[in-house]
Amino acid sequence: MSHIAEEIPAHLRAEADAVRAWLSAQQGSAFEVTGIVDPDAAAPVASGPSSRELQLILCGVRDGQDVCLRERFRVSRANGGFDVALLRDETPAVGSPAPLLDPPIGVRAWWFDEVLPKHAFTVLLFYRSFW
């Protein structure tokens, strides 16, 4: 089972911030890194000594909708900065996709803090573990 941490380890913060900036530019909206999956497993990968794979949970607003994404990225040092590539799985996961799409408990707490004061009431819809 995956371990999800809300706090990004200090040695991974520069790469996580590079991913956040890259995804925000790609999506045309601002995202925040709200978690990292298996931070202890984010060791350098075989493609190069300064390259590693990160799996992050990023939340933000896209097309006027609040969205949280759990994505895998390859981050490589290049020219004093970072090159970021989105990694896609070749085959879909077996079973329900819900654990891959729903952020872990605690990651979405900031959303409640921001939304509840803005409205008289808020409706949450849960459908087969999707939110």
Predicted TM-score (pTM) above 0.95 = no
Sketch the domain layout of the chain as residue ranges. 4-118
Quote the tokens at residue 123.
Answer: 């409706």
Q: What CA–CA distance (Å, rounded) separates 53 from 87?
A: 9
DSSP letter (8 states) at residue 63: T
Query: C-alpha dihedral over 68, 70, 72, 75, to 10 degrees?
Result: 40
Q: What CA–CA distance (Å, rounded) separates 11 from 75?
A: 13
Q: Is the pLDDT of residue 95 over 80?
A: no
Rounded average pLDDT over 118-126: 81
Interval 36-74: pLDDT, tens: 988 887 766 555 557 889 999 999 887 778 888 889 999
pLDDT at 79: 84
Query: C-alpha dihedral over 40, 41, 47, 49, to 10 degrees?
Result: 20
The strand pairing partners of 105, in sequence order, are none
CA distances from 122 to 27, 60, 69, 104, 118 (A): 27, 18, 22, 20, 9
Q: Are 4 and 37 in contact (CB under 8 A)?
A: yes
